[in-house]
Chain A
């Protein structure tokens, strides 16, 4: 992961500030940075979203394609995650970014492995034969700390924005099945994202933990806990990262904070998504040049 080099004095400054609930940019320990979320930025995808957390920039595109269901779950569709980190910095080009990319993809698989995160049964067309496969492509445009949170917000926004065309299955007298796409381009199914979890990263700095760490704060933190929280406050996965160790009491406190912060994150995100939805086609599109 891209990292900054900090002097010991700078690290001490950050650690002492965090003990007093005051971070370098004036935030409290549980405050997020100002986030910009925009959906429908890429035109040739089924759904897309872009999230910008000051210096962290993530672009997610979702393409819905027809495929065969997995053998263990013949009446469900599925999601495939691909993460590309190569546009970030020269050291992440080629093989370097692959490790980070697979790490992020595996985390996303685990977060979405919970059965009721996405209604996969609605993605089924013909049990055992046809289903919708959602290919989720994550592009890491800029890494400014806290990429997991930004990626999960972008994935949720992109899933909300995804429009899957409605298909009808026609069966002949002989039994051959034909799939017919509806003529109306606006006739599509939308996904229910109420149960989609968001990742909250809590980094341990000194004796306290902070939410949404910048690159400098990540350099001072030896251990972090990644928790995925749904909008109802249920935790669906957790993982500890970093080479330091965590006290069991800290883990309990971090889970409580993560649940609190996660719930308010979901409320704020849903508000933005609903506002965009209500504006419809008259929404001013900012895109990448704004």
Chain B
């Protein structure tokens, strides 16, 4: 939605309040993080996915990841594109694969569901990549990678990564871990689509 800059007058410069928070609290959190048992790098957080819950949108999906990430996505259209040629897909993909689930729920013809997965690598020197980091882990990460896979076709549709990764072998290992994670999440999403279709059938 376009912002009305004439009426909404926010401050010229804004700073996040977290910076001014007492540093004592930060130290405690760090010690706790370091002392906790090292988590299994291949563990996927429990995923809950449900398609077809908004009645106003053509398609919708809700995805919830274990420790607190909740994403709701709705798909509208198809509308006539402003420019000729290929149509445009205005969509933002993150860790949760909600967007492609919403599109599939709307009945848009797609080659496959795009499943997204994020990884990060903590700053310790020989640390290994971890799947689906929690927010504090991601803030401290030395390198991050997000990728989207079309599991049935085994084609990677997007890769975005940055940071102090190291030689290509490390990045290749991270990619393999991410691809594996995407493959493991795929059945959950297919199940949710199937259930949504059955519910719609029953209601009709």
Interface residues of A (CB under 8 A from B): 71-72, 110-111, 113-116, 225, 233-240, 243, 245-248, 251-252, 255-256, 258-259
Contacts and interface: CB of A to CB of B under 8 A. Distances in A.
Interface string B151-184: 0011111111111111110011001100100000
Contacts of A258: 168
B19 interface: yes
B156 A245 contact: yes
A238 B150 CA distance: 19
18 contacts: A71-B19, A110-B162, A116-B164, A225-B159, A234-B165, A235-B166, A236-B162, A236-B163, A238-B160, A238-B162, A240-B159, A246-B155, A246-B157, A248-B156, A248-B175, A248-B176, A258-B168, A259-B168
Contact of A114 (B153, B162, B171): B162
B55 interface: no
B156 A251 contact: yes
Contact of B171 (A113, A248, A255): A255
B167 A239 contact: no
A200 B94 CA distance: 25
Contacts of B160: 238-240
A212 B165 CA distance: 24
B154 A248 contact: yes
A251 B162 contact: no
A237 B142 CA distance: 12
Contact of B157 (A116, A239, A245, A256): A245
Interface residues of B, number: 26
The list of the 7 closest CB pairs from A to B, nearest first, reads A245-B155, A237-B162, A255-B168, A240-B159, A245-B157, A110-B162, A246-B156
Contacts of B165: 234-236
A235 B159 contact: no
B154 A235 contact: no
Secondary structure call for the A interface: mixed
A255 B145 CA distance: 14
Contacts of A256: 168
Contacts of A238: 159-162, 171
Given A236-B164, A245-B155, A259-B168, 12 more contacts: A71-B15, A71-B19, A110-B162, A114-B163, A116-B164, A234-B164, A235-B171, A238-B162, A239-B161, A246-B155, A246-B156, A248-B175
B189 to A, nearest CB: 18
B24 interface: no
A245 B168 contact: no
For B86, B175, B176, the residue with the greatest tally of chain A CB atoms inside 10 Å of its CB is: B175
Given A225-B159, A240-B159, A247-B156, A235 B167 contact: yes
B156 A240 contact: yes
B162 A113 contact: yes
Nearest to A113: B162
Contacts of A225: 159
A114 B121 CA distance: 13
B55 to A, nearest CB: 32
A5 to B, nearest CB: 11
B175 A252 contact: yes
Contacts of A235: 165-168, 171
Contacts of B167: 233-235, 259
Given A238-B171, A243-B86, A245-B153, A251 B159 contact: yes
Contacts of A110: 162
Contacts of A72: 19
A141 to B, nearest CB: 26
A256 B142 CA distance: 22
A237 B161 CA distance: 5
For B153, B154, B159, B179, the residue with the greatest tally of chain A CB atoms inside 10 Å of its CB is: B159
Nearest to A256: B168
